[in-house]
A and B are shown apart, each in its own frame.
Chain A
């Protein structure tokens, strides 16, 4: 059982570079989301998707893009990396279109440093 798989686990970028964080789930979950975790800030929602072809913004969407072309994959794109985007990024999924009352299954995170 793979669950939620995030790649890469670690990444170092230079300011201005772009990159894509990958997230895949094999549980046929409808809802997927991206969070960033910074010290003392808990998890903050970046973007989420309630199903293939449907995405929406969370609390801190600026500087990030997402797409959901399949049920399984939900990549997060950094368009032009900035030092403020240094963080640990978590992808999560849950069975139905709303996260309400649903257990979130998290990946192990991607640790991203922007120099």
Chain B
């Protein structure tokens, strides 16, 4: 079983569309992170959300941490081909502070 469930697994959209990716768990997390990974490279951190209910914006990307600190979402407005990549959520459960767990990822493809 996966501690962090991401959905959808694949997303293929046209340039200009909006999209939301979800990251859910039954566990409580001290924080949740979102990474983006390009082919042949390691993941790169986009954002860390720490407080329940927190909303962070990074240009066209909006990240939200659930009030109960068990889930998070990533919303992209007016997607561009440069947004194409694998988006991964990751978190450290409050019960195991030494372990960072990743979701299975959402493969996003944005067509021109």
Contact = CB atoms under 8 A, between A and B. Distances in A.
A-B interaction:
yes
A35 B45 contact: no
Interface stretch (B53-61, B72-80, B97-105): B97-105
Given A41-B104, A101-B30, A92 B42 contact: yes
A35 B90 CA distance: 13
Nearest to A106: B42
Contact of B48 (A92, A98, A103): A103
Interface residues of B, number: 27
B40 interface: yes
Given A44-B102, A101-B30, A103-B48, 13 more contacts: A40-B104, A42-B105, A43-B43, A45-B99, A48-B100, A90-B42, A90-B43, A99-B98, A101-B31, A101-B48, A104-B43, A106-B42, A109-B40
18 contacts: A33-B100, A41-B104, A42-B103, A42-B105, A45-B100, A45-B102, A48-B98, A48-B99, A48-B100, A59-B101, A92-B42, A99-B98, A100-B92, A101-B30, A104-B33, A104-B90, A106-B41, A108-B42
